[in-house]
Chains A and B, each alone.
Chain A
Amino acid sequence: MRESRLKLAAGYVALLIISVMFIVPFVWLLRSSVMDLSQIFIMPPEWLPRPFHFDNFKNAMTVVPFGAFFKNTLIIVVSVLLGTVVSSTVAAFGFSRIRWKGRDMVFAILMSAMMLPGAVTLIPSFLGWKTLGFYDTFYPLIVPAYFGGGIFNIFLLRQFYLTIPQDFDEAAFVDGANYFQIYWRILLPLSRSAVIVVALFTFLGSWNDFMGPLIYLKSDSRFTLALGLQMFQGSYTAQWDLLMAASAAVVLPCVVVFLVGQRYFLEGITLTGLKG
């Protein structure tokens, strides 16, 4: 009994230490983003800004057109989100609720593509988009989402659909429903939490994407936040106060989305890990 209480106390202390280590970079980011440049480099570091410099955010915006970057990012993220949700739920329906010849083989082939490193398809895809005249547009970043929405998402949704009793579909069939109605009226409402998981991960993936915009976008005016921040870092290395304000502005939407959808995130990771 005493041993286990001791163990619990030790675990508690260990968790506290780890949490502090995980949180310090966040605190560093936040305090620096509202600090004066003269206070930022004081050693040993000060943690409380005196006074709070909220105009760092405004100044960062005027040095670099973050407003435009934000709009670009939003256009891409929303389009990708829409395409992924529609396309992956439809595909997962076809791979789980309809029994057709060759289904499992086709699915296995698609799954095997997950093994392929992105680097292999990178160059021909780039050349293809360029040949079609879509270099320096958002299309290469958006269109693929409408073609399946990523096999991993299909896999995740299919796992979920398979847990829903097939009787539901059969009952609906007897009542004269067709496949589209079953998909729309039965499967989608029943799998809302799985769809939210897919949507959340897609949001983060698209918001955080760096390599895609780096390769496909050329004009500054079409840059995304991730790319803009990198450009900012390249040219304003000394202005850590503005750099941190810009970084905080890129991070905060992710944090808000995570905190709001926390339950689904943890559920989703668990689902993918367990059934992997």
Chain B
Amino acid sequence: MGIPALEGHSALETQALRKRKHARERKALFYGLLFTSPAILGFLIFTLGPMIASFYLSLTDYNVFKSNTTFIGFDNYAKLFSGEDDLFYQSLGTTFYFVVLRVPAVIIISFFMALLLNMNVKGRSVFRTIIYLPSIVPAVASSMIWLWLLNPDLGLVNSVLQKLHLPTSNWLFGESSVIPSIVLTSLWGIGGTVIIFLAGLSGIPKQYYEAIDVDGGNWFHKLRHITIPMVTPTIFFNTIMTIIGSFQVFSEAYILTQGGPNNKSLFFVFYLWRTAFRDTEMGYASALAWVLFIIILIFTVIIFKTSKSWVHYEGDKA
């Protein structure tokens, strides 16, 4: 009913007003939906629809070269976890190893590179450009370069190591060195993460550091008590993005090693692609995709839950 008496409207006027408001809302709803309809349709056609279809497929034995498809319930999932499929565990292990190695490396190294770039050195923008540039290189091309640089016999890296009388490596061709090597090559594309850290660092008010100076603290105190706590939101963002990206690495895996040697770099998405498009086991591959989704979801939820204890937002105290 509202409070028409207070505003001095008669019942008739209120009704007219409400009607007009109603018409305006209807018009806004119409245009709002009109402008967003391509995006909403896109979501339905290219995300929600395929998502439902993918889940359904994962409950079937769909194979491109088999004439009839049967609904088999959760058999695909049962097969995955029964230990029958060695390659599933292999690819899971490989991917976890990669994530565990890569995520801390990316976060720590890019944080320190951002600290360096945040100093008042001459030519900062040139350094920033140089560090960012490799991250725009197409995966195919960067893989070509690294395939050669890391070639055990003809590559630059081993040649330099030899000259320095350091041990050389088989890099991408060694069973134990292949994953660390891929992590290494991926560090070349760290630039985007560095720039985000740099943005986080430049947002820290100078007065905080001056306060430490007054108290007689050194650079370590500043790092420990101001810089790190103040960039925890950025660390949080970068960690989530790096984890999600690392779990889904494909192009590099495909081009650099094709899963070799001896399946030691059989990444999860590469295995999924191979199952779906080479072996044409699309029902089974869909189950793999859902396992990946659940794993990424679990990791993201864990990081979100723990973030309350280590991520500090300004004005959080209230």
Contact = CB atoms under 8 A, between A and B. Distances in A.
Interface of A: 7-8, 11-12, 14-15, 18-19, 22-26, 28-29, 32, 41, 43-45, 87-88, 90-91, 93-95, 98-101, 103, 106, 109-110, 113, 115-128, 144, 146-149, 151, 154, 179, 183, 204, 207-208, 210-211, 214-215, 225-226, 229-230, 233, 240, 243-244, 247, 250-251, 254-255, 258-259, 262, 265-266, 269-270, 272-274, 276
Contacts of B203: 274
A236 B34 CA distance: 52
16 contacts: A22-B134, A29-B141, A29-B145, A91-B35, A95-B36, A100-B25, A115-B300, A117-B247, A117-B289, A120-B289, A124-B54, A124-B57, A126-B276, A144-B42, A147-B38, A272-B196
Contact of A125 (B46, B241, B244): B46
B237 A273 contact: yes
Nearest to B142: A25
Given A8-B119, A266-B132, A117 B196 contact: no
Contacts of B40: 106, 110, 148
Interface string B45-66: 1111111011001000000000
A148 B286 CA distance: 25
Contacts of A233: 144, 147, 255
B39 A226 contact: no
A258 B136 contact: yes
Contacts of B296: 115, 117
Interface of A is mostly: helix
A255 B130 CA distance: 11
Interface of B: 25, 28-29, 31-36, 38-43, 45-51, 53-54, 57, 113, 116-117, 119-122, 127-134, 136-142, 144-149, 154, 156, 159, 163, 188, 192, 195-196, 198-200, 203, 219, 234, 237-238, 241, 244, 247-248, 250-251, 254-255, 269, 272-273, 276-277, 282, 285-286, 288-290, 292-293, 296-297, 300
